[in-house]
Amino acid sequence: MGFRNTLQGDYGAWFQTGSVVLYPLGQRMLCPEGRIFRYAKVGSAGALTACQLAQAEAENAEHDAMAVQTEASSGDTSLAFTNGTVDLAENQFQYGYLSVDTAAALGVAHRVAFHAAINASTTGIVYFFEGDTIQVTISTARKVTLRKSIFKDIIVKPASDPTAIVVGVPQNAIAASSYGWVQTHGMAGVLSEDAATISEKVRPSETAVGSVSDLDASEADAADNGAVGWVCDANSAAAKNTNIFLTLEGAS
């Protein structure tokens, strides 16, 4: 597809939602004053509420460390593997990644363009995007892992330690199984579990759904959840939307 690396979005472009995919998942959109959004698909389990943290779908370990079925050579644009014990729907891993778990191509990640439906414990083939090719021979002694795009089938962040990476904050409601934009950088309304203190870092809350909480570096478990932004406005009330400068794509 001929999409630009970064779309230049107008004010309000981030409110666009729908049941038909318009951009590759993960498409980046930069808005006039520097806010950044990513295009995502919401999972079928439920809609996303405006201003609540969203995270990727939890990993399915059945697609980890799968055997390479046919040796792949430098220049190949696809790879055959033995699927795990869970059926894969057609293009379930489109826009996701296939990574090599063992030497000699350790850690190399190839982006998945498409694949057919693959039954459990049978051979499947994934095809890569144009220009993304195997760089070194990958023998049948190697293992590979498939990972969905972190922007596919996203969910509201649960009231627990994150079960997957936090991907952004929608600034409007997005229906289940629909497409829309989640904000990753810049000023955003975000649900805060606690009274917010200006200029404090915030982390994903482990006790309130879709919320942020002050990051206390001395509280080991909380600090491990990582910072997602900075408080811009003091807020004396709990469970209230607060202006947060999101830093999921860096601080600048």
pLDDT in tens, 33-45: 999 999 999 999 9
Average pLDDT over residues 118-143: 95
Please write the tens of the pLDDT for every residue from 165-194.
999 999 999 999 999 999 999 999 999 998
Residues of 35-71 as b/e, b for ≥16 C-beta within 10 angstroms? bbbbbbbbbeeeebebbbbbbbbeeeeebeebebbee
- Beta-bridge partner residues of 155: 55
Neighbours of 220 (CB within 10 A): 8
Domains in the chain: boundaries: 6-56+153-247, 61-147
Contact 243, 229 (CB under 8 A): no
What predicted TM-score, i.e. pTM, was given to this entire model?
0.91
